[in-house]
Structure 1
Amino acid sequence: MPLQDFMKLVSVDDHAIETADVWTSRVPAKYGDAIPHVEEVEVDTVRLQLNATAHGRVQTWVYAGKTYPSIGLNAVAGKDPRTWDVEPARFDDMRPGCYDPVARLADMDADGVWAQLCFPSFPRFAGTRFLEGEDRALALDCIRAWNDWMLEYWCGVAPDRYIPVCVLPLWDLDACVTELRRAIDLGARCISFPENCSPLGLPSFHTDHWDPVFARAEEAGMPLMMHFGTSGRTPFVSPDAPAPVVVSQMGLNSMSATADLLLSPTFHKFPRLQVALAEGGTGWIPYLLERIDSVWERHRWYSGVDVETRPSTLFARNMWGCFITDQAGIDLRHRIGVDRLLYESDYPHSDSLWPHSRKHLAEALTDVPDDEAHRIAELNACELLRWRPWV
């Protein structure tokens, strides 16, 4: 088997479920009930989904007077798919490893995963929940509180097992730069950032708006981790399509982000900036690079894009593909670039193969030479993140 014992499996996409006290214990009390907190509410049992029916009550997040019932964010690790609901309704419906970093370590060991990078849940993948609400001071304190919780508490439990990630107050560029500097001082190694800012009402990659953030990230060697769906935009499907139609197409977000970035000024202005496409898959990359190069050849002269550097050259220098299960991407690894592939276990979401992640990856890499398997399982992620504390 190509995954030898000395190869540590490093996942660049997992999820931490925040406990009820993340903000109430860290945000100044002056904000009162506007602080994100958990409430128990009675729900008409007719409308309850399977996971909540036994209780007759659900737990919901409340922030700035608005209720957000999706507390669990698909925390379905260890459950029979036939019992899945859209969202678990209570903490006691979840495995403790979803929200407890100590319990998570045992689940990682069972899964054969050494290290995880854990995206936010209630704040959404890049903290974009806090674009909502009118009190920007509260929102900024909420961003800071999540970073403190992740960087000091969660990662502090096992600094050699958890990869430090931060989120930014995207509505305020100066605050972004200030918080990024603070997060770097706290040990952050990467930034969770939207794969498309425009649907959030923010400037696009085709403007110079984000230059101060990208300049600081490039200077610090901090990649942007762009998880699909962070923008809030999903692929267009028929309005009556069942959920699997959307889920099966979510990688299109990453395809769109790739085209957007490669034909924007971003990588020309910041040639050392790195972007990883979390949960976007990889099998589509050779086709898109072939297509985008062809389009660039024909349309570069009138469209205002760079006319000197092929988009595929930028991808090979600045972008990384991430996969959970993607045999097509593994088989096409030399067209993508073996050094451009990153692994994800996606615990505790529905795409996760827990507790068989290492087994499945080993099977997928059966015909891959050891040196390439080592890069895909461990070394690429560590080089991207400048993080390999066990050495």
Structure 2
Amino acid sequence: MNSFTATPWPKDRVMPARAWERPAGMRVISSDDHLIEEPGLWENRLKGADKDRAPKYWKDETGFHLEVDGQNYDVPGLPPTFPEGREGFWDVDKRLADMDAEGIDAAIIYHGRLNSLIRMQDKEFWYRCVDVCNEWAAEWKAAAPDRLFPVALLPTFLWPERTKDYLQKLKQLGYKAIDIPVNPKGVRYNSKDMDPFWEAIQESGFPVSFHIGAYLQYSGRGSLGANLNANLMPFTGLFGQLVFSGVFDRFPGLRVVFTEGGASWVPGTLENADKVARDYATELRPKLAQMPSWYWHNHCYTTFMEDDVAMENIARIGEGRVMWSTDYPHPEGVMGRSDVIMKRIFDTVGENAARKVLGETAAQLWGI
């Protein structure tokens, strides 16, 4: 009977002494880390009538909790202290100490609980909640502005005509990175109604990230594992939607990052998409200017934490199209094992490719 050793929860992980030193002059950038918003954020920052109805967000001995209009927004299935228990999640000094211990020079950092608010019914109010959170995160990075690069949630996918002005605000706040949900209810990214949205992003120069989310597709026995297994590899369909709808043909300057879904999905997806393009060429609308795999190698990137299959197939993925991350400080992240994984990447793909995977591509993509 097979057995395995359980990985400790983030709050219980001990940073070991580094067993491998990176080559001199190499800058390591984690392309997908996370921060948890400060308790009371919305109650303290919203103004006027919004303040009275602000999402309630607090921390107690059991963890972080979020409530909107009397409804509990905590993530089901896990005690909050398990996935959110690492102090560096909210204490920036301890975060920087953890980064130092693992040799992480800089990090692209996504929000924690903000994404849960997409369930709010009043979308104009939701927009204002996102806005104050983006303002807060822009202030948060001041603790180490050359190391911490928070990602702004772009809320205008519901109002494409607002996108250009909002992106200008994000630039003024000092942002380098933006993200949007994978599959927001009522939004079709392949619709021509979204063209002003994509045009504004292209014009801004921001790469746009799609980060995996928690979608509760399964219930009952084994549902936690089943949902996590599906949530962590969701991008095949989204890549096809963007390609086959002609988004990249219409907006040739668009750059897309598929975040935390690993990289081993890419070779099979590209092979299959190219086959679809050939086999159904007479019926596909719109007609594509290139094969689907061409759009990957000219527009797209993906991030991973530990993906030996991807590293063994890096020639198919593209050594400049894949970026490593720790996913700090989530349970599926690799905090505490970074040097082991970095060495394995070097041993598998060679130094030139490894330097790109571990930092150079991220630095170039986000201009950091």
For the criterion TM > 0.5, the same-fold answer is yes
Task: Kindly provide the amino acid, as one letter, of the partner of residue 338 in structure 1.
Answer: E
1:94 aligns with 2:82: no
* Amino acid corresponding to residue 67 of structure 2 in structure 1: V
**Aligned-pair CA distance for 1:378:** 0.7
1:242 Cα offset (Å)? 3.9
What's the CA shift for 1:240?
A: 3.0
2:41–2:133 Cα contact (<8 Å) kept? yes
Alignment of 1:305-320 (within 5 A): 305-320=286-301
Once the two structures are superposed, residues 227-258 of structure 1 have per-residue CA deviations (whole angstroms, 9 ceiling, x without a partner) of: 122xx546x55753342233223343112211
Please state how far the C-alpha of 1:210 moved relative to its aligned partner: 2.2
CA distance in 1, matches of 2:64, 2:150: 28
Contact 1:33-1:64 at 8 Å conserved across structures: no
Query: What's the counterpart of residue 267 of structure 1?
Result: 248
CA distance in 2 between partners of 1:121 and 1:30 (Å): 25
Q: 1:59 to 1:271 in 2, by over 3 A?
A: closer
Unpaired runs of 5+ residues, structure 2, are 1-19
Q: Indicate the residue corresponding to 2:127 in structure 1.
A: 140
User: Whole-Å Cα distance in 2 between the matches of residues 298 and 135 of structure 1?
Assistant: 42
Q: Does 2:165 correspond to 1:160?
A: no
TM-score w.r.t. the length of structure 1 is 0.82
Alignment of 1:99-248 (within 5 A): 99-124=90-115, 129-130=117-118, 132-134=120-122, 136=124, 138-151=125-138, 153-169=139-155, 170-197=157-184, 200-202=185-187, 204-229=188-213, 233=215, 239-248=220-229
Deviation per CA, 1:109-134: give whole Å up to 9, x if none. 1222111111112111xxx6245132
Q: Deviations along 1:56-83, whole A, 9 cap, x unmatched?
A: x66522223433234xx9xxxxxxxxxx
| Separation in structure 1 between the aligned mates of residue 232 and residue 73 of structure 2, nearest angstrom | 26
1:16 CA drift (Å): 0.7
Q: CA deviation at 1:26?
A: 1.9
Residue 294 of structure 1 and its aligned partner are, at CA, apart by: 0.7
Per-residue deviation, 1:361 = 2.0
Residue 176 of structure 1: CA displacement? 3.5
TM-score normalised by structure 2 residue count: 0.86
C-alpha change, 1:184 and 1:67, in structure 2 (3 Å) is same
Gaps of 5+ in 1: 42-54, 74-84
Cα deviation digits, residues 26-74 of structure 1 (max 9, x gap): 2114323411223579xxxxxxxxxxxxx5x66522223433234xx9x
Q: Structure 1 residues 40, 366: CA separation in 2 closer, same or farther (over 3 Å shift)?
A: closer
Measure the CA separation in 2 of the matches of 1:279 and 1:271: 24
In the TM superposition, residue 303 of structure 1 has moved relative to its aligned partner by 2.6
Q: Give me the whole-angstrom Cα distance separating, in 1, the residues matched to 2:59 and 2:312.
A: 48
Q: Distance in 2 between matches of 1:87 and 1:33?
A: 28
| Aligned counterparts of 1:333 and 1:164: Cα–Cα separation in 2 | 28
Counterparts of 1:376 and 1:89, CA distance in 2: 32
Tell me how many residue pairs correspond in the alignment: 348
Deviations 1:330-379 (A, max 9, x none): 11111111010111110111111212223322223213322111111011
SS in 2 for 1:338: coil
Distance in 2 separating the partners of 1:192 and 1:29: 28
Among 59, 64, 86, the residue aligned to 2:69: 64
Question: Aligned partners of 2:186 and 2:54: how far apart in 1?
Answer: 24
Aligned with 1:276: secondary structure? strand
Q: 1:38 to 1:264 in 2, by over 3 A?
A: same
Q: Once the 2 structures are TM-superposed, how far is the Cα of residue 17 of structure 1 from its aligned partner?
A: 0.7
2:163–2:200 Cα contact (<8 Å) kept? no
**Identical aligned pairs, as a percentage?**
25
Residue 96 of structure 1: how far off its partner (Å): 2.2
Of 329, 335, 360, the match for 2:341: 360
The amino acid that maps onto 2:78 is: V
**RMSD of aligned residue pairs (Cα, Å):** 2.5
Shift of 1:108: 1.1
Structure 1 residues 278-299: Cα deviation after superposition (integer angstroms, max 9, x where no partner): 0111112111111110111011
Deviates more, 1:262-271 or 1:160-169: 160-169
> Structure 1 residue 311: deviation in Å?
0.3
Q: 1:63 to 1:315 in 2, by over 3 A?
A: same
